[in-house]
Amino acid sequence: MNSSNKLLLLLIFFLLFAITLTSCSTTNKSSHASDLPILSQDELIRPYTKLARIQVTRETYGSDYSLTPDIKAWGLAAVRQEAEKMGADAIMLPEVTGRTTSYGILPSTEYRATGFAIKFK
């Protein structure tokens, strides 16, 4: 096998490898969850019914570097996902908090996201 054939095979291999990696990133997530509006009390002008108070909790031990920069986005996405399961039309009064405690030398952080799932009449 000459060097041009080896180069061609290597190029095809890397092309297929790149296609395989990028195809995983195109998985479709539920688009309805990102469309679910988050409203304050002042923005509610239509009559509505409260479906439930949603509370999502995540506890981490040690340091959670994957979540620290975007805690609010995580919390809102988690509340949206739960509200979507209930068939809600919107989320009202969202709140995302975090609290750190230590058990000896091991820190523990609890992230909590809350909100009300509502359905318009």
User: Is 117 within 8 Å of 49 (Cβ atoms)?
Assistant: no
For 6-47, list the strands marked E by DSSP: 38-39
Task: Label residue 21 by pLDDT band (50, 70, 90).
Answer: low
Q: How confident is the model at residue 110 (pLDDT cuts 50, 70, 90)?
A: confident
**Fold designation for 37-120:** Translation Initiation Factor IF3 (3.30.110)
Instruction: Check: pTM over 0.85? Answer yes or no.
Output: no
DSSP-based three-state secondary structure for 29: coil
- Summarised one tens digit per residue, pLDDT across range 34-90 is 578 988 888 888 899 999 999 999 887 776 665 556 888 889 999 999 999 999 999
Distance CA 18, CA 4 (A): 21
Q: Where are the domains of the chain?
A: 37-120
